[in-house]
Amino acid sequence: MKKILFFPHVPYHAITFVAVIKELIDVKATLVYADHLKNYGLDKIKGSNIKEIASASNIRAIPYTPKLLLSESPSILVVMNDWGGWPKRAVEDAKMMGIITVGHIEGAQDYLDTHLKMGYVGKRRYPYQKVEYIFLLGKYDKQFFSSKQTKLIGSPRFDSFDVKSNRIQKKFSNTLIGINCNFSYGVFSDISEKWISDVIIAVRYHEINYQISQHIGDKTNLSGYNTYQGSIHALIEKSTILISRFSTVIIEALMLGCPVVYYNPHNESQPTYLDSMGAFPKPTNIQELKDAINDVLLHRREWLARSEKFLDYHVAYRKGGSAISFANALNEISVYKKKQAKFYPFRSTLVYFYENIKRKLPF
């Protein structure tokens, strides 16, 4: 029986993997978790949300240690992040051991790390360059991996979206603008408060109610504003339109039938949304944002209709079936199982022990 390890970097990745695991036949699938070691760089936690997600679906889950690949000896390791954290280490070790590695692109990605050209500190990540196979979200992503082995997969977590997206004809009793505040991991965080202030000024100009959803990795001060305590998807369901900066939420909102305004006053240059293909307006200042809000409110159906072409280009299997295509692709590449090499992950083991010691220190 084939063994496949799925290593989600964060809890919502596990939800995608659970959907795939349910489609696999004659495969021993296991979720690996490391979120008990670090949680988005915020508060230290003792439990694992990923373990809880696995348990709810009766899926085996085990904690990450550098010896994991030796003890489990999987034929395939699947990740969504091969450039940072323990998944990156696992991919590097797996390749040394002859284990097939797969990276799944689950959302909008700045492949070029364009913020570095704007003076922000950091190193180029080169996402999905370490794994052997890349499972693409959509046709758009293919251009960044011309020399890699790729498969068009879509995203299993979007499989249920289409049944929810018949909102073009929906009439809202109260207009509500949803705002996605996602300046996570420090990217453009220096302008986040100004961005929020601009959006609120534009929304209040139209005398419309609003709610702000804040990403778990975002540290913007939102005191004094209306913040939403539920999930971003729940907010999208209630919202007449959504305002966001660069985020997968733009794609998700459109798939859920909620028109979008992409507000970009800081000139972020990730190409994903710069060519909107007519799917949404792209204001760059407060006046343009006021006008865009008014336009989308008056022409919701037209904007949603124009978003179809954009979604077709960016999301494969957007009508459903992504989890099945993911499982089928894993079965296809599993026949190329390589002879595994003897390798002990000394470097990963040293880093692992160092990190665990550091976690226990009082700072």
Query: Does residue 341 share a domain with residue 255?
Result: no
Residue 93 and residue 224 in one domain: no
Residue 48's domain comprises 2-159+318-359
Instruction: State the Cα–Cα distance between residues 136 and 153, nearest whole angstrom.
Output: 6
- 149 and 282 fall within a common domain: no
Of 278, 299, 314, the one marking the end of a domain is 314
Whether residue 309 is found in the same domain as residue 334? no
In this structure, the answer to whether residues 169 and 22 fall within a common structural domain is: no
**How many structural domains are present in the chain?**
2
Measuring CA to CA, which residue among 109, 113, 165 is closest to residue 140? 109
- Supply the CATH number for residue 301's domain: 3.40.50.2000
State the Cα–Cα distance between residues 114 and 188, nearest whole angstrom. 11
Is residue 67 located within the same domain as residue 99? yes
Task: Please tell me whether residues 129 and 15 are part of one structural domain.
Answer: yes
Same domain, 174 and 155: no
Residues 81 and 130 in one domain: yes
Residue 283 and residue 208 in one domain:
yes
Beta bridge partners of 237: none
- Note whether 155 and 187 are same-domain residues: no
Q: Which two tokens stand for residue 348?
A: 């990963």
Distance CA 85, CA 167 (A): 39
Last residue of a domain, one of 282, 298, 314: 314
Per-residue pLDDT of the chain (363 residues; tens, 9 = 90+): 799 999 999 888 999 999 999 999 999 999 999 987 754 444 555 678 999 999 999 999 999 999 999 999 999 999 999 999 899 999 999 999 999 999 999 999 999 999 999 988 889 999 999 999 999 999 999 999 999 999 999 999 999 887 655 555 555 557 999 999 999 877 899 999 999 999 999 999 999 999 999 998 889 999 999 999 999 999 999 999 999 999 999 999 999 999 999 999 999 999 999 999 999 999 999 999 999 999 999 999 999 999 999 999 999 999 999 999 999 999 999 988 777 778 999 999 998 888 877 766 554
Distance between CA atoms of 145 and 81, rounded to whole angstroms?
A: 16
- Give the H/E segment covering residue 63: strand 61-63
Instruction: Mark whether 336 and 231 lie in a shared domain.
Output: no
Decide: 133 and 102 in contact? Cβ < 8 Å. yes
pLDDT of residue 121: 86
